[in-house]
Amino acid sequence: MSMNTNETYRRKEIETGLAGALADLADRGYKQKFRREPNRLCCIELYRWITPDQFAVDESYYFEEISRPDIDRMVYAITTHDGVKGFLVDSCGVYADNMSFEMFQKLEVKI
């Protein structure tokens, strides 16, 4: 599996919103829920921590709430180096947590 981040990002718009995007990802096998920490991802269900060099972002989705800019979200479809598929829902903008440079590079959306 290629981990080339230059080719892993693409912006998609889902008419059914965040719930529709998550349902679509689940239908395609992205079932594990990841949480972003400053320098890695965490998968509570599998009791695993995944560093930036151990995962690839297959797709990314941006959801903007015009009436409430504090709730903009990014959804990432993620595959780990050993084939686990899951998703990360992350906040955008001023309310996003700090993260390491490596995580920033991995999750940076290239349009």
Instruction: Give per-residue pLDDT as tens, 34-89.
Output: 999 999 999 989 999 999 999 999 998 888 765 565 667 889 999 999 999 999 99
- Cα separation, 98 vs 100, in Å, equals 7
More confident residue, 64 or 7: 64
pLDDT in tens, 9-25: 333 444 567 888 899 99
Strand 73-80, strand 32-37: pairing: unpaired
Domain containing 33 equals 5-106
Is 111 part of a structural domain of the chain? no
| 35 found inside a domain | yes
Q: Is residue 43, in this structure, part of any structural domain at all?
A: yes
Instruction: Quote the number of domains for the chain.
Output: 1
For residue 75, being part of any structural domain is answered with yes
How far apart CA 6 and CA 94 sit, in angstroms, is: 25
49 domain-assigned: yes
- What is the C-alpha separation between 63 and 18, in angstroms, rounded? 7
> How far is residue 49's CA from residue 42's CA, in Å, rounded to a whole number?
5
Nearest-angstrom CA–CA distance, 57 and 103: 11
pLDDT in tens, 23-39: 999 999 999 999 999 99
